Copies of this chain bind each other. A is one copy, B any other.
Amino acid sequence: MTTKVEWRTLASEKKAKQLASIPKEWLDRLATNIPPSTELDVTSYPRVCGLLDGRELDITESDVTSLLLKVASGEWTALEVTIAFCKRAVIAQQLTNCLTEIFFERAFASASALDEYFKRTGKVIGTLHGLPVSLKDQVKIKGFDSTIGYVSYINIPAERNAVLADILESQGAVLFVKTNVPQTLMWPETHNNIFGRTLNPNNRSLTSGGSSGGEGALVALRGSPLGAALGLISEGKSVRIPSACCGTYGLRPSYGRVPYAGCANSLEGQDSVLSVLGPLSNSIDGLKLFIKAVVDSKPWIQDPLAICKRWSEEEYLLADHGDGQELCFAVMWDDGVTVPDPPILRGLEMTKEALLAAGHKVIDWTPLKHMEIYKCIAAIWSAGAAEDYDVVTAVSGEPVIQSMLPETDVLASEPASFRPSSETSISAYQLWQVQKERRILREEHLRHWQDTVAVTGTGRPVDAILCPVASSTAPPHGTTKNANYTMIWNALDYTALVIPVSKVDQKLDVKRERGAFYNSTDKTQYEDYNPATFANAPIAIQVVGRTLQEEAVLGISEIVDSALKARRSK
């Protein structure tokens, strides 16, 4: 019992310290008109709360490229840009509880140094000069904690920056906050015993996703122009599920394209299904800027797992895809395991229409052995996960969270959680057998893709797969059914980019008639669907390319995004 008291005390002290790191004046001003918790859609609050003046609204609602141009031309200073985003991040925090570490003083000092440099030399220090960038809690900043949702990691400040933090700063980025994650990092929702739950700004009764739920909520509220989310590839959710839940763009690069060294993680030493870092932003342009800035910094000289591959303008311009003239997309309508809800299918239908109208081809994708792949990945994670959680939580005595449902400490019935136990633990040799099986499945899947050359009519295999990000839009807290639609691409290490397409529409997204079901989860998901439950939830799609095809996926996604925008403007 003493231990239990101790972890709760540690957690509440940490949370109090967090509150104290926010300027009191800002909190006081927000306190006067903060919406009640019953107000679900809080996306318009930043514009009306009064904490941001007109110029600060312009700054925070500017796209990344314009923002960088205005700082580089001297129109805006790095400091005023930073202050604007710090304010808006505080607004986002009050609305959705999305932050962990808050270090505005450090940010103001960095921004002032950049302004001083610019004043002295007339030049920018790097391609991200003056751009505030938020980081998922896993990315270590010297002197600050990376608790990653574990009480055990409170008060263990990092001894050095993660490689990514150093690289971003060397390019002129201003780091200012870190963002919330679920305990163990292995949930597609965001809640832990220190900072609590992060809410979805589009509808606060819904999850912001996970494990980068904090980043998703913050970027969606424009409390950050660019967020770096590190996804323990784990349940395959990170970056993309929060992006889709909250309505931002997000990119999942392949293993090693973005440096990961020096980040905190769960299941450390698991070398098979690797963690990746990826950006979230409100435009594809933000994602591209991030990837290019990072790759141009040659991360491989600092991180042994970073892939030594320069930015390829040739690949970005789609040299391997007929210069983007007539692409052939394949839509995966469902994965043969769970049929997506009506809004998700509508998102895909809209995308198909838009691409056909833009002169591209769209065919159907045949999913290959998804269930086998899901089982393989689950077995790899659970091989040692139970010991991992136990060892980490034993230090503080906090319990391992068993459900993401609010107000519960018991095992819930939802199948979304990744709940390993000592029964799922296996020997190293057994692990190798599962990993061998996975390698064979990866080879089969790549051949399956390559074989589409016979049906596209372009002389190439399918240029990109279009598919759901999840079987539903952001669901109510604790009810996520699975993370299969993202996990599949982690398992295969394919590059995947999330594009927001629309929002749930009460008239258009009514329940569709269905006959047979794949399985009981599929049936439950169908039965649970009701457009009212998902009011205002963003709808998104994934654009998927093969391994280490970040440049091509960015290039192709710009074409998809433009087609969707052209369709909307009609």
Which of chain B's residues have a CB closer than 8 A to the CB of A21?
none
Q: Is A29 an interface residue (CB 8 A)?
A: no
Q: Is the CB of A546 within 8 A of B301?
A: yes
CB distance from A276 to the nearest CB of B (A): 15
Q: In the complex the two chains form, is A446's CB within 8 Å of B304's CB?
A: yes
Contact residues, A534-559 vs B (CB, 8 A)? 546-549
Say which residue of B261, B427, B446 sits within 8 Å of A428 (CB atoms).
Answer: B427
Distance, CA A492 to CA B305, complexed state (A): 10
Tell me the bound Cα distance from A308 to B443 in angstroms: 15
Shortest A283–chain B CB gap in Å is 25
Secondary structure class of chain A's binding surface, majority of residues: loop
Nearest-neighbour CB distance to chain B for A32, whole angstroms, equals 49
The answer to whether A546 and B300 have CB atoms under 8 Å apart is yes
Given A304-B492, A493-B304: A261 touches B548 (CB 8 Å cut-off): no
Q: CB-defined interface of A428-447 with B at 8 Å, one 1/0 digit per residue?
A: 11111111110100110111
Taken residue by residue from 308 to 338, chain A's Cβ proximity to chain B (1 for < 8 Å, 0 otherwise) reads as 1110100000000000000000000000000
Q: How many chain-A residues does the 8 Å CB contact rule pick out?
A: 50
A342 on the interface (CB 8 Å rule)? no
> Is A270 in the interface zone, CB < 8 Å from B?
yes
Name the B residues within 8 Å of A549 (CB-CB). 308
Could you tell me the distance between the alpha carbons of A301 and B433 in the complex, rounded to whole angstroms? 25
Does chain B have a CB within 8 A of A450? yes
Q: Mark A261-284, 1 if CB is under 8 A from B, else 0.
A: 110000111111000000000000
A269, B307: Cβ atoms closer than 8 Å: no
Tell me if A566 counts as interface (CB < 8 A to partner B). no
Interface centre among A310, A428, A450, by most chain B C-beta atoms within 10 angstroms, is A428
Interface residue A426 (Cβ < 8 Å from any Cβ of B):
yes
Nearest residue, chain B, Cβ from A271: B272
CB distance from A108 to the nearest CB of B (A): 30
Say whether A388 faces chain B, with CB atoms less than 8 Å apart: yes
A383 on the B face (CB < 8 A)? yes
Query: In the complex, what residue of chain B is closest to A304 when comparing beta carbons?
Result: B442
A197 CB to nearest B CB, Å: 29
Question: Does residue A384 face the partner (Cβ distance < 8 Å to B)?
Answer: yes
- Tell me whether A425 is interfacial, beta carbon within 8 Å: yes
Q: How far is the CB of A362 from chain B (nearest CB, A)?
A: 22
Give bound CA distance, A507 to B454, whole Å.
67
**Interface hub of A307, A310, A432 (most chain B Cβ within 10 A):** A432
Q: Which of A361-416 contact B (CB under 8 A)?
A: 383-384, 387-388
In the bound complex, how far is the Cα of B443 from the Cα of A305, in angstroms? 9
CA distance A35 to B358 in the complex (A): 75
Complex alpha-carbon distance, A425 and B431, angstroms: 12
Tell me how far the C-beta of A448 lies from the nearest C-beta in chain B, rounded to whole angstroms: 11
What residue of chain B has the Cβ atom nearest to residue A256's Cβ?
A: B307
Q: How far, in whole Å, are A407 and B284 apart by their CA atoms in the complex?
A: 67
Interface residues of A in 33-74 (CB under 8 A from B): none
Q: Residue on B with the closest CB to A274?
A: B271
* Cβ 8 A contact of A443, one of B261, B387, B433: B261
Inter-subunit contact B269/A446 (CB<8 Å): no
* A303 interfacial by beta-carbon distance below 8 Å: yes
Specify which chain B residues have a CB less than 8 angstroms from the CB of A301 in the assembled complex.
446, 450, 461, 546
Instruction: Decide: A271 near B269, CB < 8 A? Known: A304-B446, A425-B428, A548-B309.
Output: no
Q: Does A458 contact B (CB under 8 A)?
A: no
Besides A268-B432, A387-B427, 17 new A-B residue pairs in contact (Cβ under 8 A), listed by A number: A269-B432, A269-B439, A301-B446, A301-B450, A304-B492, A307-B548, A308-B309, A308-B546, A308-B548, A309-B548, A384-B427, A384-B429, A384-B430, A387-B429, A425-B429, A427-B428, A428-B430
Task: Provide 8 A-B residue pairs closer than 8 Å at the C-beta atoms, listed in order of the A residue.
Answer: A268-B439, A269-B436, A269-B439, A302-B450, A305-B439, A383-B429, A384-B428, A426-B427
Binding site for B on A (CB under 8 A): 261-262, 267-272, 300-305, 307-310, 312, 383-384, 387-388, 425-437, 439, 442-443, 445-447, 450, 461, 492-493, 546-549
